[in-house]
Amino acid sequence: MYLTGGLRVEGPAGALVESDLPGAQGRLALTALLIERRALSRDQLAELVWGEELPTRWTAALHTIISKLRSLLSTVGIDGRSTVATVGASYTLTLPPHSWIDLEDAWQRLDRAEGALRHAEPRTATTEATVAYSILRRPLLAGIDGHWIEDQRRRQATAAYRCAAVLAEAWLQLGDHRLAAVVAESAIALDPLREIGYRLLMRAEWGHGDRAAALRALARCERMMADELDATPSTETRELGAQLRS
């Protein structure tokens, strides 16, 4: 099941894509059940699907959406009724054994990448983080708005930043300073208000002998902190800057 880069479900009998699902509400309902992986009451699922302003006959509308999702899953060889089950006044999603969800795989790979970096295994870290990064950079339900989906996108963006930081640090440890600089720039683009990306860029530029570029990265960080946060960089960043200047 692919949640990023366009919703797609592949089963033993075929595949269904985003346009097959019952509108934005159907895509949100399936995505919520796949991400939350817990029993959601009708009220909870309805709020995720429509927000606080529910339609007049929302109970019947939600029942119709769930029925359509079950039917669509059945067309690709997945037992829709047992997969999207009704338990009392709640809905729960139970996937068949050996199922795979791209975002779940990305979270797991990111955890393994960070663990590998802590254990001085940069090659393993790059392998795991590269796959996770490719998933996490893809959009989630593009064109659909709402508080819940915005929260999920922020969580995904934070994880993508962590991936970029792992990759830059791992490439630094492996001695590929130019690639580390490229990934550090990606981290800064993802979140220009975090200092880690700037420090990684400073170390990468310094590592391949371009002290001037490293100092420019420091200056960018200082300007960002002053302009956006009315603050100065952290002690760690200032100490790295002092090393560069000396």
1 domain residue, yes or no: no
**pLDDT value at position 51?**
87
Q: At residue 18, what is the residue type?
A: E
The answer to whether residues 72 and 116 belong to one domain is no
Task: Note down the domain range covering 139.
Answer: 102-245
Query: Is 7's pLDDT higher than 90?
Result: yes
The answer to whether residues 75 and 106 belong to one domain is no
pTM, two decimal places: 0.92
Query: Is 137's pLDDT higher than 90?
Result: yes
When the pLDDT of each residue in the chain is averaged and rounded to a whole number, the result is: 95
In angstroms, rounded to a whole number, what is the distance separating the alpha carbons of residues 131 and 220?
Answer: 29
The answer to whether residues 57 and 129 belong to one domain is no
Across residues 156-166, what is the average pLDDT? Answer: 97
3 domain residue, yes or no: no
**pLDDT value at position 53?**
86
Alpha helices, H only, the chain: 23-36, 42-50, 58-75, 80-83, 102-118, 122-136, 147-174, 177-190, 195-207, 211-229, 235-245
Q: Which SS3 state, helix, strand or coil, does residue 202 take?
A: helix
Count of structural domains, the chain: 2
The 10s digit of each residue's pLDDT in 196-229 is: 999 999 999 999 999 999 999 999 999 999 999 9
- What's the pLDDT band for 97 if we cut at 50, 70, 90? confident
Domain with residue 73: its CATH number is 1.10.10.10
- What's the pLDDT band for 193 if we cut at 50, 70, 90? very high
138 domain residue, yes or no: yes
169 domain residue, yes or no: yes
**pLDDT value at position 119?**
97
2 domain residue, yes or no: no
